[in-house]
């Protein structure tokens, strides 16, 4: 098979800048594709928080001109680095006005009012950068609404540019809730023909919908689990775009995310109190002790600890948790929670911790180290998402023998096998209805099983740790999609 030139464009990439799982994927998939022999280049914005010294980023001499329609030509600087531990180049688009800010997308929850221009600028810069580097891509791989303009630009603004001749585009949807809705004037900034501004392509509700335009124009569309690929074609999960997605379902594929076992394996994790693995789980007890100590909860080996790590957003089922927390606090368990997000939730969980100091503790904030410690030290991991395109934390949990309690949706349904009390099979506990009742009874089910069938819990734990969700298989699936997209293009 031909070795491919691949450009992966993403608004966040681990370890440089991250707000969620997109960054984990954009940092890990390129490594796995590189291991398959492809020439992969990653492009992201140079936000203020990107640490140029720590990662040894070097500025390129030449500035990059980015045509922005009626805004005129704007100029970007380019920094170059590599994904740590690899030879995969990463290019950072530097523009003080657009990216020299504290947040990635918002300031304390308020979206930047020029996110349209910021990410159209970024998407166009990706195209211009290919030309400046003389890197002729076979594949332009865009991710979520931030870069969804790329497939559209390839087919319109750059359609007659011989440089991109034969290049194909792939768009991955990591979360359909966010689509990039803007006013129609951005058509002129993108410099795409006004014919595109129609409900079959780019328009929705009288404005521009970047993700919709991306779905229209991408040669292939992927999403991050097979179940989510089906769900987004329904009104419950489609956020209004289900009809459009159904119309393009012939080019839609679900590929489950992998996880980076270099980062998330308890046998080799610098953030946790003691190493452990499927063969020898003794270290996990030490991690549990350290976790309870860190959170100031009483040390009670005989009681299960339930962990939660994630954005405090409705998506993650925090409303359901809030609804039943009083009931849960009557069970014999302890809960540790790490997250930031919606203000009501930050206050609410702070109050719960004050009311039940023996049972509930939380860390409102963002901490990679604490995330690792919760994965390692908890017995169960709670992820009752209303929707979950893939979800990474439940897969990290499997790796640490921390049994997930999840709602059966999206990637949660695809990665977790439900406990079977008769045979003892399974890797976690699942419920279907997005109700507080279902959540409460499933947590109770897990906790009762912990007390009544410890040998089954121990066997599940080992089984969980033996699951493999490495990137190799998923990278092979992306590779197939790339060849397929190219084939379509070059027919
Ligand atoms: P999403 O992308 O929807 O937020 P994922 O499960 O795919 O959900 O990925 C979330 C990622 O962000 C995980 O790597 C998780 O550990 C991390 N994360 C989320 N919130 C926090 C936090 N408060 N502190 C540390 N890591 C966090
Ligand atoms: C999104 C989704 C999450 C997924 C991640 C990476 O943020 O919410 O489910 O794991 O993207 O694909």
Ligand 2 centre distance from Cα of residue 456 (Å): 31
How many Å apart are CA 93 and CA 91, to the nearest integer? 7
φ/ψ bin of 402: left (φ > 0), alpha (ψ from -120 to 50), beta (otherwise): beta
Ligand 2 centre distance from Cα of residue 337 (Å): 19
Q: Is 43 in the pocket of ligand 1 (CB under 6 A)?
A: no
Q: What is the pLDDT of residue 246?
A: 98
Ligand 1 centre distance from Cα of residue 351 (Å): 23
* Cβ neighbours, 10 Å, residue 166: 11
Domain with CATH 3.40.50.2000 in the chain: 5-258+471-490, 266-466
CB of 373 within 8 A of CB of 271?
A: yes
Residue 112 DSSP SS3: coil
Best residue among 178, 224, 225 to mutate for probing ligand 2's pocket (most ligand atoms within 8 Å of CB) is: 224
Determine the atom of ligand 2 nearest the C-alpha atom of 392.
10
As given in the structure block, the two tokens for residue 364 are 């409102």
Q: Is 339 in the pocket of ligand 1 (CB under 6 A)?
A: yes
Q: Which of 95, 105, 55, 45 is nearest to 75 (CA)?
A: 95
Phi and psi (nearest 5°) for 75?
-115, 140
Q: What is the pLDDT of residue 26?
A: 98
As given in the structure block, the two tokens for residue 420 are 């079977």
Residue with tokens 């003691």: 274
Determine the atom of ligand 1 nearest the C-alpha atom of 393.
6
CB of 460 within 8 A of CB of 426?
A: yes
Q: What is the pLDDT of residue 491?
A: 76
| pLDDT tens series, the chain, 491 aa | 789 999 999 999 999 999 999 999 999 999 999 999 999 999 999 999 999 999 999 999 999 999 999 999 999 999 999 999 999 999 999 999 999 999 999 998 899 999 999 999 999 999 999 999 999 999 999 999 999 999 999 999 999 999 999 999 999 999 999 999 999 999 999 999 999 999 999 999 999 999 999 999 999 999 999 999 999 999 999 999 999 999 999 999 999 999 999 899 999 999 999 999 999 999 999 999 999 999 999 998 899 999 999 999 999 999 999 999 999 999 999 999 999 999 999 999 999 999 999 999 999 999 999 999 999 999 999 999 999 999 999 999 999 999 999 999 999 999 999 999 999 999 999 999 999 999 999 999 999 999 999 999 999 999 999 999 999 999 999 999 999 999 998 87
Ligand 1 centre distance from Cα of residue 338 (Å): 10
Task: For 266-466, give the CATH class.
Answer: alpha beta
pTM of the model: 0.97
As given in the structure block, the two tokens for residue 305 are 């600890």
Ligand 2 centre distance from Cα of residue 169 (Å): 20
Q: What is the pLDDT of residue 490?
A: 81
Question: Can you say how many angstroms the Cα of residue 164 is from the centroid of all Cα atoms in its chain?
Answer: 29
Per CATH, the number for 5-258+471-490 is 3.40.50.2000
* Cβ neighbours, 10 Å, residue 231: 22
Ranges assigned E (strand) in 333-379: 334-339, 360-364
Alpha carbon separation from 338 to 13, 84, 86, 348, 365 (Å, rounded): 21, 27, 31, 13, 7
Ligand nearest to the CA of 392: 1
Consecutive H or E run containing 461: helix 454-466
φ/ψ bin of 427: left (φ > 0), alpha (ψ from -120 to 50), beta (otherwise): alpha
Ligand 1 centre distance from Cα of residue 45 (Å): 20
Q: Is 338 in the pocket of ligand 1 (CB under 6 A)?
A: yes
């Amino acid at each position: 098979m031909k070795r491919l030139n691949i450009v992966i464009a993403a608004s966040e990439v681990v370890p440089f800048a991250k707000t969620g799982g997109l960054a984990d994927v954009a940092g890990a998939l390129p490594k796995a594709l590189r291991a398959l022999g492809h020439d992969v280049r990653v492009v992201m914005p140079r936000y203020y928080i990107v640490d140029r010294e720590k990662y040894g980023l070097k500025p390129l001499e030449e500035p990059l001109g980015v045509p922005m329609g009626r805004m005129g030509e704007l100029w970007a600087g380019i920094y170059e680095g590599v994904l740590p531990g690899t030879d995969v180049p990463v290019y950072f688009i530097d523009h003080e006005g657009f990216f020299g800010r504290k947040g990635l997308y918002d300031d304390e929850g308020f979206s930047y009012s020029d996110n349209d221009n910021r990410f159209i600028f970024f998407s166009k810069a990706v195209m211009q950068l290919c030309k400046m580097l003389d890197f002729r891509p076979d594949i332009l791989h865009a991710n979520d609404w931030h870069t969804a303009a790329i497939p559209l630009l390839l087919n319109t603004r750059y359609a007659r540019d011989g440089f991109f001749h034969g290049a194909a585009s792939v768009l991955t949807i990591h979360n359909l809730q966010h689509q990039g809705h803007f006013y129609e004037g951005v058509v002129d900034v993108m410099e795409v023909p006004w014919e595109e501004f129609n409900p079959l392509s780019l328009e929705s509700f009288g404005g521009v919908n970047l993700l919709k335009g991306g779905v229209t124009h991408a040669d292939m569309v992927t999403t991050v689990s097979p179940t989510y690929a089906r769900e987004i074609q329904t009104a419950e999960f489609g956020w209004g775009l289900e009809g459009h997605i159904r119309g393009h379902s012939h080019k839609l594929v679900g590929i489950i995310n992998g996880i980076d076992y270099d980062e998330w394996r308890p046998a080799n994790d610098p953030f946790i109190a003691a190493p452990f693995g499927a063969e020898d789980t003794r270290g996990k007890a030490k991690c549990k002790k350290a976790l309870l100590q860190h959170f100031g909860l009483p040390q009670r080996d005989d009681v299960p600890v339930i962990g939660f790590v994630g954005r405090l957003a409705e998506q993650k089922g925090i409303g359901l948790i809030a609804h039943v927390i009083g009931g849960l606090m009557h069970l014999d368990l302890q809960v540790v929670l790490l997250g930031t997000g919606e203000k009501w939730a930050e206050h609410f969980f702070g109050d719960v911790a004050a009311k039940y100091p023996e049972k509930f503790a939380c860390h409102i904030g963002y901490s990679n180290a604490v995330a690792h410690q919760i994965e390692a030290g908890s017995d169960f991991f709670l992820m009752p998402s209303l929707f979950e395109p893939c979800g990474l934390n439940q897969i990290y949990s499997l790796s640490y023998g921390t049994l997930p309690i999840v709602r059966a949706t999206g990637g949660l349904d695809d990665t977790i096998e439900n406990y079977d009390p008769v045979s003892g099979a399974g890797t976690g506990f699942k419920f279907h209805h997005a109700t507080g009742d279902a959540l409460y009874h499933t947590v109770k089910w897990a906790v009762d099983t912990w007390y009544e069938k410890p040998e089954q819990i121990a066997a599940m734990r080992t089984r969980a740790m033996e699951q493999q969700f490495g990137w190799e298989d998923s990278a092979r699936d992306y590779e197939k999609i790339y060849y397929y997209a190219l084939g379509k293009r070059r027919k």
